Chains A and B, each alone.
Chain A
């Protein structure tokens, strides 16, 4: 559970810092709940038989689900006053099927100031037992400064 009372500031962040891992266990029910919320009814995301026929090992998470995993990982790092400015290029490397524990995390690649904003580029990726499932890819965020 994230502690939303804490805010990370631009001055707190250094290149090479770790973005802590968040784990998402992929289950059939979770995929179905996500498909309903996201309105992605491609059967490869909820039907084992059709997923296997398409070449996947099992029904697997859709791209938006994986992006959502990235967003939660980033949001827990940047806190309530951080802003997500740009996401991607985001690449899916392999399926994230049910039965896998998808671990999403990353590192701080660079930080700079531009147009009055304190910008940070995070490099995010998600992995599971078969290797890298998505990314690594950039997410550009802004953070508040301790100087206001």
Chain B
């Protein structure tokens, strides 16, 4: 049974965590090759990312991952794993990989907010703490509401919301704190 919520309910939930205790661990350890491949298209030739000796001379234990690779690239999940159904069951050239129904579904509780039919990603902020090294394994946790600002915009009525999560390495050390901003709204609505 879905409870009807108002934006005030979401405002009242500021500071609460809605992860349900769920965590998400990257499929792979951080690999030297993954760092190299990340640097290729941006042509980032900083030695901290490819030269262990240079990295050590500058206070690191070895090569480090670029900061901007941490929250998505080095947290990525497998596209397909052994035992799963095909992600591409037809030869439609535009087909996007389909989800295997046997995959674990999220059990995180829904946010206490009205039903909406539009969402825009507005901004992102990432604070960095411990460096990420080859061999690290990253896990993301938390889904804490940091701020909620109901507002009417030219696309409709909804709320600007910021959600905070944390990324830690296999030793439990905080690597990054990520705040994602979005605008959830009803298209064309006035209130």
The residues of A with any CB-CB pair to B shorter than 8 Å are 1-2, 4, 24, 30-31, 33-34, 36-41, 43, 47, 49-50, 63-65, 67-72, 75-76, 80-81, 83-92, 137
B5 lies within 8 A of chain A by Cβ:
no
Minimum-distance CB pairs A-B, first 5: A88-B125, A39-B76, A34-B41, A37-B37, A68-B42
B34 lies within 8 A of chain A by Cβ:
yes
Nearest A residue to B127 by beta-carbon distance? A86
List chain A residues, Cβ under 8 A from B73: 37-39, 64
Given A68-B66, A75-B46, A80-B41 contact (CB < 8 Å): no
CB distance from A148 to the nearest CB of B (A): 13
The contact size tier of chain B is: 35 or more
| Complexed CA–CA distance, A34 and B39 (Å) | 9
CB distance from B155 to the nearest CB of A (A): 13
B142 lies within 8 A of chain A by Cβ:
no
Please tell me which one of the listed residues A68, A80, A89 contacts residue B54 in the complex, with CB atoms under 8 A apart: A80
Q: Tell me whether B68 and A70 are in contact (CB under 8 A).
A: yes
Q: Tell me whether A80 and B128 are in contact (CB under 8 A).
A: no
Given A88-B123, A88-B124, A72-B67 contact (CB < 8 Å): no
Q: Tell me whether A80 and B58 are in contact (CB under 8 A).
A: yes
B187 lies within 8 A of chain A by Cβ:
no
B69 lies within 8 A of chain A by Cβ:
yes
Given A84-B67, A88-B126, A89-B123, A72-B37 contact (CB < 8 Å): no
| Complexed CA–CA distance, A72 and B39 (Å) | 9
B1 lies within 8 A of chain A by Cβ:
no
Q: Tell me whether B38 and A86 are in contact (CB under 8 A).
A: no
List chain B residues, Cβ under 8 A from A86: 125-128
Q: Tell me whether A75 and B44 are in contact (CB under 8 A).
A: yes
Given A36-B37, A40-B72, A64-B68, A71-B124 contact (CB < 8 Å): no
Listed by A's residue number, 10 A-B pairs whose Cβ atoms lie within 8 Å are A4-B47, A24-B42, A37-B38, A41-B96, A64-B69, A64-B71, A65-B41, A84-B67, A87-B128, A91-B123
